[in-house]
Structure 1
Amino acid sequence: MYIDWVGDQPFLLLEPDTGEVHKVHFFATTLGVSSLIYAEAFLNEKLSSFVEGTIHAVQFYGGITKYFVPDNLKAAVTKHSKDELVLQSVYSDLEDFYDTIVLPPPPRKPRGKATVENHVRYLETHLIEPLKERTYTSLEELNRDIKEKVAVLNSRKFQNRPYSRLDAFERYDKPCMKPLPHEIFTVCDYKAISKVPDNYHIEYDGHYYSVVYTQCGKPAILKATHTEIRICDSYNRLLCKHKRSYRDFPRYITEDSHMRPEHLYYKEVNSKDGAYYRRWASVFGPSMSEFIDRMLKSSKHEEQSYNACAGILHSVKDLPHGIVEEVARQCIEMNSCRYKTFKQVLGKLQSGEPCSEEHLPQHENI
């Protein structure tokens, strides 16, 4: 797909309130075999307009060509010499998103861009000149007229040939194009980071997003959309993605796989969930492990047993492990793994009283 701005910039847009007439810029693309045309008017030739025009052109064709061939425009190309090609960051992302190859023609080589230059001249004659016959009060109105005129040009048969651009597109270009992605490309807000901090989190809009800890001290690029945070290395290779957060809490958004091993261990040890209480119980022995496991499973929702587990484990943390194991074993034998049962058995065991089954509360499952 060849991409360029048309050189002719006529004054076509009338400001109704002031009577001022603005010039418009024509973005145009064509395909290599069929020469199928896409054109759109913009108020300027800034990067945002260039990217938007490229996205609309891809949607117009209904597929993705193997190559995008823009002229050496600042909106797409940062540097292009015989030794080096550096794409503008946003256009590089566009290249990755559509899984295509951006390949500008060699600079100062007219024969390298003959197709697009001929295409531009054709549009200046057959599209822009007819548009100059009137003025428009809005860009939308102008683009509607452009769409109608381009449709006529694409359906018009070539000179001395029995087919049109549209016919050639359906026969030659379209079968070779890749399907469009399900999502639409979104322009990102960029933030360059000279060094990833030691805590391996990068700040954006008051929130801190993690990157793998091995990137500490290295440069990175953060790209933010309305819904997503993407972090890339200095070569624009994707390192990780996060869902963008707008909540006041938590401020730190961390993936476990990004954490240092010692940090991950500390988190796992101190996370108060079912696994936390099972790990704590395993310190005393297998009977206590089974007792806590049964307690957690006895509730409809495991979280409902957390307080009872915490109460038992805190109350026995300074007791000999043998006593705790014996209490847990007796509770398991009575099939009464409950907080109240455990406390009663523990009290009797500490006071030296025999722990007979009749002195214990009856469980509904016994």
Structure 2
Amino acid sequence: MDFAGVKLGIVDKETGELTEVEVFVAILGASQLTYVEAVSSQQKEDLIAACENALHYIGGVPAAIVPDNRRAAPLKAAVIKSNKYEPTLNEAFADFADHYGTTILPTRAYRPRDKALPGRRAVEGAVKIVYSRIYAPLRKQVYNSLTELNAAILIALEAHNNQLLRGRNYSRRLQFEEIERSALAPLPILHYEFKKQLHATVMKNGHVCLSVDKHYYSVPYRFIGKKVKLLYSNSVVEAYYHYERIALHKRLKSPYNYSTDKEHLASTHRFVTDWTPDRFLEWASSIHEDVRLYILKILDRKQHPEQAYRSCIGILSFAKKAGEQRLISACQRALSYGIYNYKTIQTILEKNMDQYEDSLFADELPMPKHDNIRGEDYYQ
């Protein structure tokens, strides 16, 4: 597969502006059955979509997909870095190949004298034929969209694939049906989900944040402090470090929550995975409904689950230290003032404020009205 050197164009109906578009060309090695499609660019989104359409056009999956690997101009959406022995593949394109159960087999990196390499020669020959068989008929008409242009390309393409080969009594299509279709692997049931990407730094707790969802995913703790690449689709999130996949998670769109693989975490972080909001709420309910309500407020207002869990553990532990009834009273009093944190409960219990009458306490509340206010002791 490759992109043709000569572009086609579509014309805006309203402005008359001409927009050039790329032309993707793929050919099967034995039958020479050809696929052609116009796309907006050579970026990986368009390349992957065109490759997928090519596989569905031929109705199966070949053992390998062969993109260009020239040192001077490798197909960047497929091959990030050209190399004679082990070229570096684009992660998204490699993931696409993995979904379809095929292999990316870039052509050998070469210099101009290598032009006779058969794999490259096949697609280069196909491109030359496309200019005469596909481009020529298209020049008779103006197209206003990619959809219109590709509909016209398909008509010319079918004529090309069904035309008898020179000096033969069979066409590319007939040869494909006879010798090549049976060699293809079946198409998977589901189409490929293209993955978007972003970069993130692994936090000290061994997680990275997928900022579009504000959700946190674990990676092996040895990557703490490293910058990793996240590839994500509608259903999965993958983390890569130096082109190696280090984590795979189901994508969840719940903000400020964690998706954690315990195997990723150092022992000092594993306690976090043993706790869930439901577990804290169940524990609080076993004490009193007002304690449950206070814990719910803590969970709702904290941005990071780990931060909320520590507060919950501290508050609920007062049931043993001070007694359940005192904790209930402290939560009721804190709820009445709309102040939700561990230090509030601690202060109420240490100063025996849970035992005050409301009328006595109302004028002597020695607490800030907001967490961000430092209080008078800070300035002494």
The residue number in structure 2 matching 1:207 is 215
- List, as ranges, runs of 4+ consecutive aligned residues in structure 1 with deviation greater than 6 Å: 269-272
- State TM-score, norm by structure 2: 0.64
Q: Which runs of 5+ in 2 are unaligned?
A: 69-73, 284-318, 324-380
The residue number in structure 2 matching 1:179 is 186
The residue number in structure 2 matching 1:27 is 24
1:122-167 deviations in Å (ceiling 9; x for gaps): 1101111111111112221111111122112112222222222112
2:110 is the counterpart of 1:110? no
Deviation at 1:265, TM superposition (A): 4.9
Letter in 2 for 1:211: V
The residue number in structure 1 matching 2:287 is none
Task: Pick from 72, 90, 98 the counterpart of residue 88 of structure 1.
Answer: 90
The residue number in structure 2 matching 1:323 is none
Give the whole-Å Cα distance in 2 for the aligned partners of 1:126 and 1:22.
22
Alignment of 1:257-296 (within 5 A): 257-265=263-271, 268=274
2:196 is the counterpart of 1:189? yes
- Give aligned-pair identity as a percent: 28
Give the whole-Å Cα distance in 1 for the aligned partners of 2:146 and 2:16.
15
Give the whole-Å Cα distance in 2 for the aligned partners of 1:233 and 1:93.
15
1:5-31 deviations in Å (ceiling 9; x for gaps): 1122244x2211012233332111110
Secondary structure of 1:237's counterpart equals strand
Deviation at 1:190, TM superposition (A): 1.8
The residue number in structure 1 matching 2:259 is 253
2:47 is the counterpart of 1:50? yes
Larger displacement relative to structure 2 (26-35 or 170-179) = 170-179
Give the whole-Å Cα distance in 2 for the aligned partners of 1:255 and 1:82.
38
Secondary structure of 1:241's counterpart equals strand
Contact 2:236–2:248 under 8 Å retained in 1? no
The residue number in structure 1 matching 2:245 is 237
Secondary structure of 2:19's counterpart equals strand
Larger displacement relative to structure 2 (105-114 or 214-223) = 214-223
Deviation at 1:263, TM superposition (A): 4.1
* RMSD of Structure 2 on Structure 1 (CA): 3.1
Deviation at 1:238, TM superposition (A): 4.9
Give the whole-Å Cα distance in 2 for the aligned partners of 1:219 and 1:10.
40
Secondary structure of 2:174's counterpart equals helix
Letter in 2 for 1:68: I
2:139 is the counterpart of 1:132? yes
Give the whole-Å Cα distance in 2 for the aligned partners of 1:105 and 1:216.
37
Deviation at 1:214, TM superposition (A): 4.5
2:230 is the counterpart of 1:222? yes
Give the whole-Å Cα distance in 1 for the aligned partners of 2:107 and 2:276.
58
Between structure 1 and structure 2, the one with the greater Rg is 1
Contact 1:191–1:222 under 8 Å retained in 2? yes
- State TM-score, norm by structure 1: 0.67
Give the whole-Å Cα distance in 2 for the aligned partners of 1:143 and 1:272.
53
Give the whole-Å Cα distance in 2 for the aligned partners of 1:270 and 1:16.
57
Secondary structure of 2:204's counterpart equals coil
Letter in 2 for 1:167: L
